[in-house]
Structure 1
Amino acid sequence: MKYSLLKVSVEEKELKNISRNLLKLALPSMAENSLQMLFGMVDTAFLGHLSWQAMSGAGLANQLIFVFQVIIVASSVGVNVIVSNATGVGNRHKASSSLWNGIQLCLFWAFFLMFLSIFSERFLKIFGSVDETVLRYASQYLRTILLGMSSLSLMAVLGAALRGSGDTKTPMLATGIANLLNVFLDYAMIYGKFGFPRWEVFGAALATVISRFVGVIVMLLAILKNPYLNEDLKKAIKPELATLKDIVSVGLPAAGENFMFSAGLLVFASILLRSGPMAYAGHRIGINIESLSFMPGWGISVAVTTLAGQYNGRRDLDKVAAVAKQGFALAALIQVSAGVLIFLFPQPMIRLFTNQTEIVELAKIPVRLVGLFQIFLALESSMNGVLRATGNTTFSMIVLAFSMWAIRLPLAYVLVTKLKLGLLGAWLGMMSDMSFRSVLKLFFYLSGVWEKTALKVSSRVRHVSESDLS
């Protein structure tokens, strides 16, 4: 069957209902993502006003942290997809079992990363020659975050399960509370206010870890009241090989995608550092503003995954297609509008992170490019949502790996090192990669090839007992 983003075989009344449900799910997710981005952005802003070395050190550490999240991504994506499909057919045991098995998988990985924290400085040598002060700050930040990785792991999988069950408000609330605490603790621990020691970069990392644990507590309280996620808790909490296999089969390709992307970012950072530490500082600001601009798209992607997953569980592929169409329309409307503002007025956003004139001027390059490419970000967010909902994570992984390693990195290398375009060259390579990915995913969706995997995923959750339906 062929699909389209222009028209679908769903009545207008049902299409409007889908749009309302998407907005209902997306708005809290957008707010949550905004708050989630603030974790990193608050650190960047406070550290940027402390020194550019502190900001760059935390940025380098985060590049490695993204790589270490591989199993966390597998668990959270797998749990989200299985829970949303199970919720669609009322299979409470499958939803609950997926959550608690996903938690165990995440915690195992988090404890392993705690052990790896002792090698933090060695890991950072992958970047080659780095300013000694930047390296010291990066090592402090990386070690602290790895020691507290269980907070990130639990927030990721608990939030994924809640969103999959249709509850996008609780993750937003938990992230909001954690962020308010993070802002206070960042200011207090970085600069030594309110009786706290002046811990600088270590303080920023510790504030993040503590704040996330508070968010975990809020989510756990909500899960204990969620009928889909605490069903027969004593039974659901036991390791279940079939459920773990389902989580891994869906989530592992997404984890592979995240790993290939994060590993690519390490190489990308190494290429960019050839243009000097100031260029890298400008790049980190550009990345933060790109993340800020992507918040609506991420929220819509979450809503598409949740709603399309529920329809996919019922094997109603016409409505899955309707969700994809409305999701793209919504993402494009919001993100293109935001892109115009970002392109025309980059400086006010940049000055949130630094007042250093040279870095402000450098950062204008990536920020304006972010504004120009918003339509591709909108397209990818909607396509990612529907492909994840239907279990087509392997295709996304393959596309990402090819696009990162055959387009972004070679193009950035040539433009930065051979043509001496510096930050502009690196970001042209980056935006070429993102545009290619989004278009290829669109063609895959339009072809209808994704249907086969979608039906396989729905078959895993279609056994519903009488107690599940009661």
Structure 2
Amino acid sequence: MTTDHINFTFKKLFNYFWIAITGKESEFTSGSIRRAIFMLSIPMILEMLMESIFALVDIAYVSQVSVNAVATIGLTESVVTLIYAVAIGLSMAATAVVSRRIGEKDIQGAKESAVQAIALGILVSLIVGVFGFIYAKEILSIMGAEPDLISEGYGYTQLLLGGNSTIMLLFLINAIFRGAGDASIAMWALVLSNGLNIILDPLFIFGWGPIPEYGVMGAAIATNIGRGTAVLFQLGILFFGWGRIKLAFTDLILNTKVMFNLIRVSLGGIAQFLIGTSSWVFLMRMMSEFGSEVLAGYTIAIRVMLFTLMPSWGMSNAAATLVGQNLGANKPERAETSVWKTGKYNAYFMGLVSVIYLLYAKNIVGWFNATPAVVESGGLCLQIIAAGYIFYAYGMVVTQAFNGSGDTGTPTRINLIAFWAFQLPFAYLAAFYFKLGAMGVFMAITLAEVLLAIISIVLFKKGKWKSFQV
């Protein structure tokens, strides 16, 4: 290969990259499937990468406060994942319905769906916010936190749950952008949100000038400010920006038919993620039995794992958008081909990452906390989970493809089998009955994800999702 050819290839890739992050291409139902995957995946990967970078930076700062502070984040976020379940369930419905309307060239229908989704998100977040703010201490206690941990960390829990509307709307509006094919806008919203979080985190955690030292609660303050600012940015784009969906104030009308259609589609998604995330809550409760140091190691390992799972979710979200738009354009075979190609690219990426984690897990965990018990627990967790990464790659893409078609019921049933029927009983028996301790929980996580991937692929090949209507 000549130097000129290499330079040409590099220039071509850079041009594609620039088009992807600036959102200059929005037609994904014709032309090269590989190019469509690239154009959607790049901004979605960068969007998710920003989320995972913030998660790592956040835990790095909080690790300097105390082991209890890290454990507080672990316990709180296991509860916050229940909010994520509702947010992601509604987001899946928004992406599925909006992408289908865009594929059908029905822009007005897409706008109506966007408005109803936002209204639902606001309602749910207000209910959760009031409850979470008032009962923060009780929530930590139920999760098995010791009194000194509750005393130090309840402010973080109170603010994060009380300000959950920023999480809810950030997820939901970005899902609308992705469904419309405007993945670059969703990416820039996350860049703004997490960029602000990274800057504000040390200011509020450790104090600076007139800003007092808030400790772990400062992380929640920074998160709410960062995500709240990003939500204002999103709303500005929706009403005054350049996206494919542009709302006017006259569009802000409740449409019960569209809203109930969204609720119908989202119920499967909400149940799907409630099953998955509630299993994480129970796993975290089991981990709390092994002490704060083991719990802190587990929390750090999960944050590190998210660093690579988030970009993979980016590719999975690209598959969901491609499925929805191509089904709307009556091109089911193109939708299926998009899924298999996306899964293959995701497997390449995850396979490479798994090798790195298997070799350097303890070194990586040690960057965040050098306590021997924390490093031992976190390193073991990361190695065991990384062993199943290639299965995760296909599992994520295929389940998101079901969701993109609007068939959220099939992944819900798969999650029920993999997480409740298998993962939780296996984790309990392995950890406590067979005396494997924390390792038993780690093994349950990996084996459940492998099972999920296998079942998903078998059902996807049957093709019933191609005829699903939303």
- CA drift of 1:32 comes to 0.7
Q: Distance in 2 between matches of 1:331 and 1:15?
A: 22
1:383-442 deviation line (CA, Å, top 9, x unaligned):
022111111111111111221111111111111112221221111011111111111111
Checking the alignment, whether the CA contact within 8 Å between 1:189 and 1:200 is kept in structure 2 is yes
Residue 47 of structure 2 aligns with an amino acid whose one-letter code is E
Q: Which residue is equivalent to 1:289?
A: 304
Residue 440 of structure 1 aligns with an amino acid whose one-letter code is I
Q: Distance in 1 between matches of 2:79 and 2:274?
A: 10
1:346-383 deviation line (CA, Å, top 9, x unaligned):
23421332122221122111111232111111111210
Q: In structure 1, which of residues 12, 19, 37 is the aligned counterpart of residue 34 of structure 2? A: 19
Q: Which residue is equivalent to 1:84?
A: 99
Equivalent residue runs for 1:209-248 within 5 Å: 209-224=224-239, 225-226=241-242, 228-230=244-246, 233-248=248-263
Checking the alignment, whether the CA contact within 8 Å between 1:81 and 1:388 is kept in structure 2 is yes
- Does residue 324 (structure 1) correspond to residue 377 (structure 2)? The answer is no
Q: Distance in 1 between matches of 2:291 and 2:335?
A: 47
Q: Distance in 1 between matches of 2:251 and 2:93?
A: 16
Checking the alignment, whether the CA contact within 8 Å between 1:61 and 1:124 is kept in structure 2 is yes
Q: In structure 1, which of residues 309, 314, 318 is the aligned counterpart of residue 324 of structure 2? A: 309
- Does residue 187 (structure 1) correspond to residue 202 (structure 2)? The answer is yes
- Does residue 141 (structure 1) correspond to residue 153 (structure 2)? The answer is no
Q: Which residue is equivalent to 2:352?
A: 337
Residue 229 of structure 1 aligns with an amino acid whose one-letter code is I
Q: In structure 2, which of residues 126, 134, 139 is the aligned counterpart of residue 118 of structure 1? A: 134
RMSD value over aligned CA atoms?
Answer: 1.7
SS at 1:272 equivalent: helix
Q: Which residue is equivalent to 2:5?
A: none
Of 340-349 and 434-443, deviating more is: 340-349
TM-score relative to the length of structure 2: 0.90
Q: In structure 2, which of residues 413, 416, 438 is the aligned counterpart of residue 401 of structure 1? A: 416
Q: Distance in 1 between matches of 2:163 and 2:220?
A: 9
- CA drift of 1:139 comes to 2.1
Q: In structure 1, which of residues 204, 208, 214 is the aligned counterpart of residue 219 of structure 2? A: 204
Q: Which residue is equivalent to 1:127?
A: 143
- CA drift of 1:16 comes to 8.0
Q: Distance in 1 between matches of 2:257 and 2:460?
A: 29
Q: Which residue is equivalent to 2:437?
A: 422
Q: Distance in 1 between matches of 2:167 and 2:393?
A: 26
Checking the alignment, whether the CA contact within 8 Å between 1:60 and 1:138 is kept in structure 2 is no
1:50-91 deviation line (CA, Å, top 9, x unaligned):
111101011101111111344323321111111111111211
Residue 301 of structure 1 aligns with an amino acid whose one-letter code is S
- Counterparts in 2 of 1:407 and 1:384: CA distance versus 1, 3 Å: same
SS at 2:464 equivalent: coil
Q: In structure 2, which of residues 269, 272, 276 is the aligned counterpart of residue 261 of structure 1? A: 276
Identify unmatched segments of 5+ residues in structure 2: 1-28
Checking the alignment, whether the CA contact within 8 Å between 2:96 and 2:403 is kept in structure 1 is yes
- Does residue 101 (structure 1) correspond to residue 120 (structure 2)? The answer is no
Residue 68 of structure 1 aligns with an amino acid whose one-letter code is I
1:142-168 deviation line (CA, Å, top 9, x unaligned):
210122112112111110011111111
Identify unmatched segments of 5+ residues in structure 1: 1-13, 458-470
1:8-67 deviation line (CA, Å, top 9, x unaligned):
xxxxxx998111111111111111101112343332221112111101011101111111
Q: Distance in 2 between matches of 1:138 and 1:60?
A: 10
Q: Distance in 2 between matches of 1:371 and 1:261?
A: 18
Equivalent residue runs for 1:27-46 within 5 Å: 27-46=42-61
- Counterparts in 2 of 1:65 and 1:138: CA distance versus 1, 3 Å: farther
Checking the alignment, whether the CA contact within 8 Å between 1:84 and 1:166 is kept in structure 2 is yes
SS at 2:301 equivalent: helix
Q: Which residue is equivalent to 1:384?
A: 399
Q: Which has the higher contact order (CA 8 A, sep 6+)?
A: 1
Q: Distance in 2 between matches of 1:63 and 1:325?
A: 32
- Does residue 154 (structure 1) correspond to residue 174 (structure 2)? The answer is no
Aligned pairs, how many? 440
Residue 245 of structure 2 aligns with an amino acid whose one-letter code is L
Q: Distance in 2 between matches of 1:341 and 1:16?
A: 36
Q: Distance in 2 between matches of 1:76 and 1:15?
A: 25
Q: Distance in 1 between matches of 2:205 and 2:55?
A: 14
Residue 139 of structure 2 aligns with an amino acid whose one-letter code is F
Q: Distance in 2 between matches of 1:357 and 1:16?
A: 54
Of 132-141 and 47-56, deviating more is: 132-141
- CA drift of 1:110 comes to 1.4
Percent identical: 22
Q: Which residue is equivalent to 2:71?
A: 56
Q: Distance in 2 between matches of 1:154 and 1:341?
A: 35
SS at 2:380 equivalent: helix
Q: Distance in 2 between matches of 1:58 and 1:436?
A: 29
Q: Distance in 2 between matches of 1:171 and 1:68?
A: 20
Q: Distance in 1 between matches of 2:236 and 2:275?
A: 35
